[in-house]
Each structure stands twice: as structure tokens, then as C-alpha cells.
Structure 1
Amino acid sequence: MKHYQYAIAALLLPAALTTASAQARYNTTITATIKNLPAGEWVYWRSQGGEDRRDSVQTTAGGFTIRMNIPPGEGDFYTIKIGKPYGEYNFLFYYLDKGNITIKGDGPLFKDAIFDGPQFIKDNNEYTAMLKQAPGLQGQADLYKKANKLYAEKDSAGLAALEPEMERMRKESENLTKQWILQHPKSGISASLLSHLNDIPLDEKESIFNKLSASAKENGPAKRLAHSIRVNKLTGIGNMALDFTQNDTLGKPVSLKDFRGKYVLVDFWASWCVPCRAENPNVLKAYNRFKDKNFTVLGVSLDQPNGKEKWLNAIHQDNLAWTHVSDLKFWDNAVAKQYDIRSIPSNLLIDPSGKIIAKDLHGEELEKKLAEVL
């Protein structure tokens, strides 16, 4: 489902915000004017990475004003949402740095909203207009809307029928985005766009990243991408796995080195992660097939600080009969950060010598790889 979500996010990207606030402690102001927006609605915003900045404000009749402080070099993607549930037109996903930004629209909510503001807003608008005008991407919004509907209805056959066209559009969007980034090496959003190209190899990302100016790398997404590049050099396929230790379900320390001499799948998941729970039967099938052939699984859970009971229940419900560890720190899980895990389910296949031989094997890919090496 990540392709559909990314495409929708790309279509919503035009939102970026900034310029000096009237109050000295704020350096960013967002002023929204939206027809027929009632007073008293709560508007929430939250940063997508780095420091967890979140807050809320209530609307006045026909709009709202958000004031915040974004430290130098900490521009990032944010979500802005009107009301708590996610629904059509009530949220935006955008890059935000310091400055004054305006949002104007006829409604409902953020439908067809127009943004204005500093250069990164103009760059956002230019990039989004480029995608919307691309001949090869006409009808993309309707296609992904239909795909999301089929996904919600669990219509796998209908979704499969759309897959070839969605894949074609995804690749077209990816190629256009890469071209735009290379044509705008000084833009504040270039590194941000590059960080969201999830399906190109990291070495290709590094090559493009190295072409960006120093100023274009002064933001949260660029720093995280630079970190991913550094970590990949240490944890890429063919490298020795980095050792770690975390407590199991009984509080006993377990280290990766304890599994030396076996093929081990380090499986990053969480009880709250729907795609992970859907993938668990595939991992279980592979485990049952190969557990007597020098293979095992080590589960690393990204469950939350108050989620131990849910973690244990999920292990029991999904019949995950292998070793499980967690520090119950959600996305701050030390092992996930050590291996730069940014989405789950994710995994590493490690050979008996401790070398990483594969990554992110899902569905039949996992069994196929294990049959190859065992």
C-alpha cells in the first residue's frame, strides 16, 4: 500500500510554510482563509521527524492561524489536520521551514487550497504543478483514490487489475521527481523529495544527494537521509551485522551474537502494525518449514512504552514461536535506530558467520531465499 500512500502524499505536497511572526518567540506563521470553515474546530499539526513538535489551535469563522518556532536547520515535513479522524480534504502533508505562509481556499476544508509564501513554498507549488501537468500522470488522483477504496474493501482482485497502471505511474512520477531535484540542486525541498523516493537504491540516492548544495541539506529530511547513507555503508548486504542486546519477554537480555552459527531472520514488527500482522503468517510458514535446518527468527518489536501486554498478546495470537525482544520505545527502539529502520515490517537475513545476506524479504520471497541457502 505504500505506493498509493506515497502518490497521495506527493499530490498533497504543495504545503510549506514560513516568515517572521509578530511575536519574537515565533518565526513561522500560517494564516489560513477557508470559506465556510466553522469556528471552534481543532486544527492539529505535527512534525514528521527529528524533535516531536506537535500542537493544536481552534479555528475562527473562516480560518485559523498557527504560530510556531522552527530552529535553524530543522525544516521538515509536517501534517496539518482539521479534526481528529482522517477524512477527505481535512489533512495536508507538507514541508515547513521558517517564514510566513498563507493558505486560501473555497473549501470544503483543504480541497484545492492555494499556498503562498517563501521560496520553498514556490518550489513546492512548481513541483506539484509539474506532476499535475505531466501527460503520463493524467488521471493519477482518481486512480489512487480508487485503489485506496479497493484496499479498504479488501478487493484484492480489483486492486491487482489496477497494479500495472499504478506501477507505470509510480515510475513516471519517480523519474520526473529525480529530474526536478537535479534541476533544483539549491532548493530547500530537493533533499526532502529525495528522501521520499522509497523505491530507488540508496547508492543512487547518495549520488543525487551529493549533487545538492550545502544549503539544500540544512533540514531534517536531509540530515536523516545522510544518516541513512552512513548506516547503509555499515549494514548493507554483504556487511557483518552489528551486534545488539535487548530484553526478551521475560526481561532476560538477548544478544544477536547468541545466534551465531545459524541463519537468523531479524524481524522488525509491532503489535499495532497492521501490515506486520498480515505478514506474520508468511514468517511463521517459513519458520515452520526451515526451523529444523539451522534457521530461526529473532523478533524485534517497536511496541510502545505502555504496550507490553499488547506485544505479548500478539505473539500468542499469531503463534510466533521464536525469540522476541524489545525495549518498548516505539520508533525510538535502539535496534531500529541502529539499523535505520524507518518502516515496518522490515527484516534482515543473517548467515551463520554473522553476515547480512538479504533485506526485506516478504511473502514468498522469504521462503525462496531460504530454500536457496539452506
Structure 2
Amino acid sequence: MKKTIALLAAILTTAAAQAQQNTTITATIKNLPAGEWVYWRSQGDDDRRDSVQTTAGGFTIKTNINRGEADFYVIRIGKSYGDYSMTFYYLDKGNITIKGDGPMFKDAVFTGPQFIKDNNEYTAMLKQAPGLKGQEDLYKQANKLYTEKDSAGLAALEPEMKRMREENENLTKQWLLQHPQSGISASLLSQLNDLPLDEKERIFNKLSPAAKENGPAKRLAHSIRVNKLTGIGSMALDFTQNDTLGKPVSLKNFRGKYVLVDFWASWCHPCREENPNVVAAFNKYNSKNFTVLSVSLDQPNGKEKWLNAIHQDGLTWTHVSDLKFWNNAVAKQYDIRSIPSNLLIDPSGKIIAKDLHGDELEKKLAEVL
């Protein structure tokens, strides 16, 4: 009897261990040295992460991806962000292989279940598209000019980059409508940043239930729901967070004024570059019933950096934050997934504009004030 119980316990223990690791990623990369740390993490709200060490010429990751938890994952070799050190891929359960000649993930090939095959098919389609020929070189040049702060050079490239973004968007939409049951369809749809959310919703509604059982689909469904609540013409959702002195501030306290709810962070370079435009608008219209309420997505240990950035950039208006990074409660309430981002609210509390940047903010304020 004892032997039977022990055998049963061993079987159950083995089954539980196997159930906990339903996904294996096996990488074979030439000349990859042993002893390097490989870090991986999900891009979902659950922020799943772990690390393993390489053996000579590869590494193996074993993890568990439950039903509905498929998502984008970043896999990075080493702590630096050097060339080809990272790969960004949609992963679900199953046995996945990565093979490459190096260095790192350069030209690495993924093989495995249907979602891998679909991703490879989609990527091949884009590479073969005549309208996207030279896209990789174009964006390398743009990144170089951005690093060099060559605004004129970037402006000269913008028309061609815009054309390619539109071509990529059109090809992706076609692929999605032809693959409504693919596990990667919702994830690809979520990456079309320039596509209006109502059009995303139209395509999203055509996807099969199975294609919506993953992290990107859940986030997209959430964005669609929140957009219906916070679209232009909707009444702004009230919130309360502490200011720089720890005192609670509520949006409703600003009723009767035009208020720009500005989402930013001290660590966000585009936000810091945009701040002078917000300062100029504030200085010009502050005496005309306009103000700014900034919501910072700074990190839990970033209060000092937050305060320093406020001082350095001359942001002389009300600031609030819960210092929870991307889990900031107001950012989640309004589904803010990139910064800088903002909402312009009229004296009645109605949202009248979104994401006004550059001279767009000044033009809108001149129109309503």
C-alpha cells in the first residue's frame, strides 16, 4: 500500500512539473560562449520574467504559458543593448527552436508551432513587398540621424518613411483579414499605432475567438472599451493622486477651466523635448482660464528625478504621480500606453482633444480661448 501511494505521489509530482513547463525554447547560435546570462520577459501586464545561462553555442528556456497568456516576449543575451543582442517575438506554448550563425540573434530563424509559422509567413510577406524595398536601410539611416540630432536630415526622410508606414499598414491589414484565426493576428493589429482605434475595432471583431485568447487581444479589447468611455466628446473620468508634497489632487477640482492632462515622465526623452511647447502654451494662456495638470509615470525610486525634471524644465503647474511607472493608476484608467500623451478638457469636464503636440496645442487653445 505504501509503495502504491509513493508511486502515485511520484507520478503526480512528475505530471505537475511537466504541466508547469509546457514551453521550451532551444537556441543554437554559432560561437555563442558559455556562461552568458540570457534574460527574457513578457510584455504583458503580468510582467513575467526569468533568466538562464548559456552553454557553448546555445541556451534553453523552459517556462509555462497558460491558455490565454501568449504574448510578446523580449529575449536578450547579456545586459547590454548592443547589435542583435535582443529579439522580440510572440510566444505561446510548445517547442520552439532558434537557430543562427551569429553574432547573437542576427538572421536567427525561429521554427515551431503554427503561431511561429504564421509569424514567419507574415515577415516573409513584408520582406518580399516591392513597396517596402530598402525599408531596413532607411530606418537605420533615420536612427543614425536621430542619434546625431540632425533634424533637417530626419525631416528629409519623413515623406518616404510615411509612405512605407502606410504600405506596411495596408499589407498588414490584408494579412489579418486573410488570417482571422491566427494566434498572432491580434498582436499584429495592436502594433498598427497609426491606425484609428475604430478601424482596429472593425478588424478585431472579425477575428475568431481563438485568435483573441492572448495578452495583446485582451489589451486591445481593453483599449477599445476605454476609448468608448474617454473619446473626444466624452466626460473625463475623475481621478485623485498625490502631488509632489503628498497632498491629494482631484481632476474635478479643475472644473471651470480648460485643463491639459499631460502624461509624461522624467526618464522619457520625447516628453522632455515636448515640455518647452507645453511651457509656452501655459505661459501664453494661463491668464485666459487655462492650466496644466501633469501625471508622471516615474518609477517607484524616481521621486527625486521627477522633482528635478519639474525644476529643470520650468513646469510651474500642478503635478501628481503614484510613482508606479507604467502601472500608474491614472494612466491605466485612460489606457495610456505611450508618452508623451495628453487630453484637453473644457470647463464642463468634457474631453475636446487628444494628443496635441508641437504647435497643435497652441493652435487648439487659440481656437477655443
Shorter-chain TM-score tier: over 0.9
Give the one of 229, 242, 261 matched to 2:256.
261
| Residue 168 of structure 2 corresponds to residue 168 of structure 1 | no
| 1:291 partner SS | helix
Query: What is the CA distance between 1:44 and its match in structure 2?
Result: 0.7
> Do the aligned partners of 1:49 and 1:77 also contact (CA within 8 Å) in 2?
yes
Equivalents in 2 of 1:152, 1:29: separation in Å?
A: 37
Further displaced range: 158-167 or 184-193: 158-167
Give the one of 84, 91, 96 matched to 1:96.
91
One-letter code aligned to 1:284: V
One-letter code aligned to 1:263: Y
| 1:212 partner SS | coil
One-letter code aligned to 1:63: G
Equivalents in 2 of 1:359, 1:73: separation in Å?
A: 32
Task: Kindly report structure 1 stretches of 4+ aligned residues shifted beyond 6 Å.
Answer: none
Number of the residue aligned with 2:355: 360
Deviations 1:39-64 (Å, cap 9, x if unpaired)? 11111111011211111111111111
| Residue 140 of structure 2 corresponds to residue 154 of structure 1 | no
Number of the residue aligned with 1:55: 50
| 1:14-33 correspondence runs (5 A) | 23-33=18-28
Number of the residue aligned with 1:7: none
Which structure is larger by alpha-carbon Rg, 1 or 2? 2
The runs of 5 or more residues in structure 1 that have no matched partner are: 1-19
| 1:1-374 correspondence runs (5 A) | 23-374=18-369
**Cα pair distance change 1:160/1:21, threshold 3 Å:** farther
Deviations 1:29-88 (Å, cap 9, x if unpaired)? 100011111111111111011211111111111111111111210100011111111121
Equivalents in 1 of 2:193, 2:44: separation in Å?
A: 16
Query: What is the CA distance between 1:21 and its match in structure 2?
Result: 12
Equivalents in 1 of 2:168, 2:261: separation in Å?
A: 33
* Count of aligned pairs between the two proteins: 355
> Do the aligned partners of 1:31 and 1:64 also contact (CA within 8 Å) in 2?
yes
Deviations 1:312-344 (Å, cap 9, x if unpaired)? 111111110000011111111110000000011
**TM-score, normalised to structure 1's length?**
0.93
Equivalents in 1 of 2:288, 2:197: separation in Å?
A: 33
Equivalents in 1 of 2:141, 2:79: separation in Å?
A: 24
Deviations 1:63-120 (Å, cap 9, x if unpaired)? 1111111121010001111111112111111101111100011111111111100000
Query: What is the CA distance between 1:147 and its match in structure 2?
Result: 0.7
Number of the residue aligned with 1:16: none
Deviations 1:134-160 (Å, cap 9, x if unpaired)? 000011111111111111111111111
> Do the aligned partners of 2:19 and 2:64 also contact (CA within 8 Å) in 1?
no
Deviations 1:178-214 (Å, cap 9, x if unpaired)? 1000100000000000011011110000000000000
| 2:203 partner SS | helix
| 2:288 partner SS | coil
> Do the aligned partners of 2:37 and 2:51 also contact (CA within 8 Å) in 1?
yes
One-letter code aligned to 1:285: A
The runs of 5 or more residues in structure 2 that have no matched partner are: 1-14
